[in-house]
Structure 1
Amino acid sequence: MTDPIRVLVIDDDFRVAGLHRDIAAARPGFTALDPVHSLGAARQAIRSHAPDLLLVDVFLPDGDGVDFVAGAAVDAFLLSAATDAATVHRALRAGALAYLTKPFEPRLLADRLDRYARMRNVLSTDRALGQEQIDRALSIMHGGAEPASVSRSATEQLILDGLGDDEASAAEIADRVGISRATAQRHLSALATRGQVEVRLRYGTTGRPEHRYLAARR
């Protein structure tokens, strides 16, 4: 089982910080650290707890959130009431993976968190990344349609790469590759038809057997 994604909220508004913490804590695969309310406290929390993702306000009592993100070396979203183009441009230049304008609906942050988790799944590999995987990761995070460069055969190659030498279910492969379970199931079925993957059944104590997939030996 993969470790949960640790999220640190940095916001000087205690109520807002708590709301954002609760949204993160409610997402599957995430855990929310106690929010902090200044950049000084954020630096200490990063040293102590090594968060994976920061949710940072732009205007903080002891400094600028954009500058902080630029130097933090931690994935980050910037959340702010500032909507001027200069601030948004600075945020993107600083490396922010998302910019959410306050106030926003909870579902908007939940969506960006889910996208971030899927992007991490695509990039969590020790193997060299192909252009298709890089395009897919960027597309997932920024909400675009599936890249035109990712054809059916390229998607199937991503699935084979995600499968590796392991036996896995369609849901597990979908999680690793960053696609929907239905898409993974469709391509796995096509690969099985062509003999590129083997299908095995795992029987539990009750219910229907689970289909497990394994790359065919060459």
Structure 2
Amino acid sequence: MIRTLVVDDDFRVGQIHSSYVRRVEGFEVVGQAATVAEALAVVRTLHPDLLLLDVFLPDGSGLDILRRLSQNHAASRPDALMITADHDIASVRAAMKLGAVGYLVKPFGSADLTERLGAYRRLHDRVAALSHATAADQSDVDALFSAARPPAVLRSPAKGHSVPTLTAIHRALSTAGTALSSAETAERIGVSRATAQRYLSYLVKEGTVLLELRYGSTGRPEHRYRTAH
């Protein structure tokens, strides 16, 4: 489980974001904090893997938390997904320089956060898988840098394909733990098999989803799908 600390100065908003996190497979919320001082204290005692970190806090900035953790706990510093209503490019650049794995602008819904957390989980799992290797080749490095970013095809799809449906299908595949058929995918997200098949074919063509052929004793091979990363 990816242990997550939610940091937001608004307790009610923090509760909502915590409920979003709890719905995502592979994540658990270990606590909430509302200030810089409280967040630093919780990090020292609970050692979370990920901070869902607001920029504006009563006693400073979420960026201050990243700076202090980088100075004092660089080796064990948790990752951070920034959440804020601030659209200022300077804040975005500062977050990037401090190693934030993502930046999500308020207001956002459960699906938006689920997409970012799914991308982070793929990064987390890939890093864990590579931790036992003596060296990484170029494909491993490329995969690490792309894993934390939602696929571009989900953000700006071709005409005739909706972002919510693409995101739902990609999320269903990434959380399934095994390759799915078009019928299984359709059932998971509540669309027709024909719709699921059309979207899956599009994602395969774009390279976001991989097609696997499963051969049985008779008949045609079964088509099954999984995410590319």
Residue pair 1:10, 1:17 contacting (<8 A) in 2 also:
yes
Partner of 2:68: 71
> What's the CA shift for 1:184?
7.9
Q: 1:142 aligns with which of 136, 149, 163?
A: 149
Distance 1:29 1:44 in 2: 24
Superposed, 1:174-185 pairs within 5 Å as 183=210, 185=212
TM-superposed deviation, 1:95: 1.0
Is residue 133 of structure 1 aligned with residue 140 of structure 2? yes
- Which stretches in structure 1 are left out of the alignment for 5+ residues? 147-169, 173-179, 194-218
Matches within 5 A, 1:1-218: 4-72=1-69, 73-124=77-128, 125=130, 126-127=132-133, 128-144=135-151, 171=178, 183=210, 185=212
* Identity rate, percent: 34
Deviation at 1:84, TM superposition (A): 1.3
Q: Quick check: 2:7–2:51 contact (8 Å CA) kept in 1?
A: yes
Length, aligned pairs only: 154
In structure 1, C-alpha distance between the alignment counterparts of 2:13 and 2:210, rounded to whole Å: 37
Once the 2 structures are TM-superposed, how far is the Cα of residue 41 of structure 1 from its aligned partner? 1.2
Instruction: Work out the CA distance in 2 between the residues paired with 1:70 and 1:100.
Output: 19
> How far, CA to CA, are the matches of 1:63 and 1:109 in structure 2?
24
Q: Partners of 1:44 and 1:123 in 2: how far apart?
A: 27
Amino acid at match of 1:101: V
Contact 1:67 1:94 in 2 (8 A): no
User: Cα distance 1:133–1:145, how it changes in 2: closer, same or farther (>3 A)?
Assistant: farther
Cα contact 2:115–2:150 (8 A) shared by 1 = no
**Is the contact made by 2:36 and 2:64 (CA closer than 8 Å) also made in structure 1?**
no
Greater CA deviation, 51-60 or 83-92?
83-92
Provide Cα deviations, 1:152-203, integer angstroms capped at 9, x if missing partner: xxxxxxxxxxxxxxxxxx839xxxxxxx9x73845xx7xxx9xxxxxxxxxx
Aligned 8 A contact 1:54 1:77 in 2:
yes
Tell me the C-alpha RMSD between the 2 structures.
2.4
- Equivalent position amino acid for 1:140 in 2: A
Quick check: 1:139–1:145 contact (8 Å CA) kept in 2?
no
Tell me the distance in 2 between the aligned counterparts of 1:108 and 1:116.
13
1:68 alignment partner, SS class: helix
Structure-2 change in CA distance of 1:123 and 1:37 (3 Å) = same
TM-score, normalised to structure 2, is 0.61
Cα distance in 1, alignment partners of residues 42 and 119 from structure 2: 24
- For 1:120, give the aligned amino acid: H
| CA drift at 1:99 | 0.5
State TM-score, norm by structure 1: 0.64
Write the deviation string for residues 128-151 of structure 1: whole angstroms up to 9, x where unpaired: 2222112112212112469xxxxx
- For 1:141 and 1:107, the matched residues in 2 are separated by 16
